[in-house]
Amino acid sequence: MVRYVGLGKESSFASAASIARYVDPVTFSLTPEKEPVIFRTVASRSPVTFYEGKVTITGDIEIPLYPDVLGDFLLMLLGKVETSQPDAGNAPNTYKHTFTPIEKWESPVTYTLELGEDVIARRILGAILESLSLELTPGEPPRAGCSVLAVKEESTSLGSPTFPSVKAFPENSATLTLNGASAELQALSLEINNNPSTDHHVIGSKYLTRHELGDLEITGSFDVKLADRTHLDQFLSDGEGSLEILLEGEEIEAGYKHYLKISLPRIIYSGWEAEVSGSEPIVQSIDFAAIKPSDSPIITIELQNKISSY
């Protein structure tokens, strides 16, 4: 049984790239969608012929938060990365990658995906992420849900995958900072949505000729025990805050660890709820949305690992 997802960064739009890294996902399902044009004439009640219609590929990949390959998915999602070495002298194999979203006039980074499905392999070209969702729940390993939009599919041969040897980030390593202070949250979910167009087809091609990104939406929710009126008052007064999520993993070298840090410098509360049931603890469920600050990106994601570049 050979099941895997391979990833390769494309040098140009929908141009097949060599596979650089493999991931062992929790689940994956990518589906080609065709819209053949059925043609009718007056001579018959039945269709007489058809023409090739528009083609797109959509689907989902769910992965553990592997430090090595997570960067490829973040680049497919946000489109821009800067890489540095925090301490090249003492930690020559440690690299920090900072991902930020591209603007409307910039082209997203596309990937070639290779899907191993037991006896066949599928090559998916021109892939980006429509969205990425993350959920943190006590006692459960964090996972990223990646919704994919791609251009076309080709056949290929099964590869020989080598999966990451570094463990995925554990839930119990998470540190959450809310409005500048450490927070003990009972659950947290986050979704980053590019809202790309799935219908940018032009005359002369049945495939998408480029990816058009829509409005960037970053929303989420968290649960926290009701201790005072702070969050309720912030919701009622239309106050603003900030959120930072930090996950740490295994040590790389010289005291430097693998880590993932998601920073939302400006959030607003969009919903508040606290159900009272018998003698059960009262938990606040709070919805939030991210807003762009004037002097920084709406979201910044840092990933530290041993990968020299993405």
pLDDT per residue as tens digits for the range 120-144:
999 999 999 999 999 998 888 899 9
How far apart are the C-alpha atoms of 114 and 61, rounded to whole Å?
12
Of the two residues 233 and 96, the one the predictor is more confident about is 96
Most confident stretch, 137-141, 206-210, 251-255, 285-289: 251-255
Least confident range of 72-76, 181-185, 218-222, 257-261: 181-185
pLDDT bucket at 35, cuts 50 / 70 / 90:
confident
Note the pLDDT of residue 180. 87
Maximum Cα–Cα distance for the chain, whole Å? 80
Q: How far is CA 54 from the centre of its chain?
A: 26
Min mean pLDDT across 38-52, 71-85, 123-137, 181-195 is at 38-52
Is residue 151 classed as helix, strand or coil in its secondary structure? Answer: coil
Q: How confident is the model at residue 248 (pLDDT cuts 50, 70, 90)?
A: very high
Band the pLDDT of 63: cuts 50, 70, 90: very high
Pair of tokens at residue 174: 């998470």
| Chain mean position to CA 208 | 21
Confidence check: pLDDT of 12 > 90: yes
| pLDDT given at position 202 | 65
Residue 226: pLDDT over 90:
no
- Annotated domain spans of the chain: 3-305
CA 176 distance to own-chain centroid: 19
The residues pairing with 207 across neighbouring beta strands, listed in sequence order, are: 55
Q: Does residue 204 carry a pLDDT above 70?
A: no
Q: Are strands 111-117 and 143-150 parallel, antiparallel or unpaired?
A: unpaired
Contact 49, 37 (CB under 8 A): no
Compute the distance between CA of residue 263 and CA of residue 245 in angstroms, rounded to an integer: 7
**Span 264-269, mean pLDDT?**
95
Least confident of 124-133, 174-183, 199-208, 258-267: 199-208
Question: Mean pLDDT, the chain, as a whole number?
Answer: 91
Q: How far apart are CA 226 and CA 232, in angstroms?
A: 10
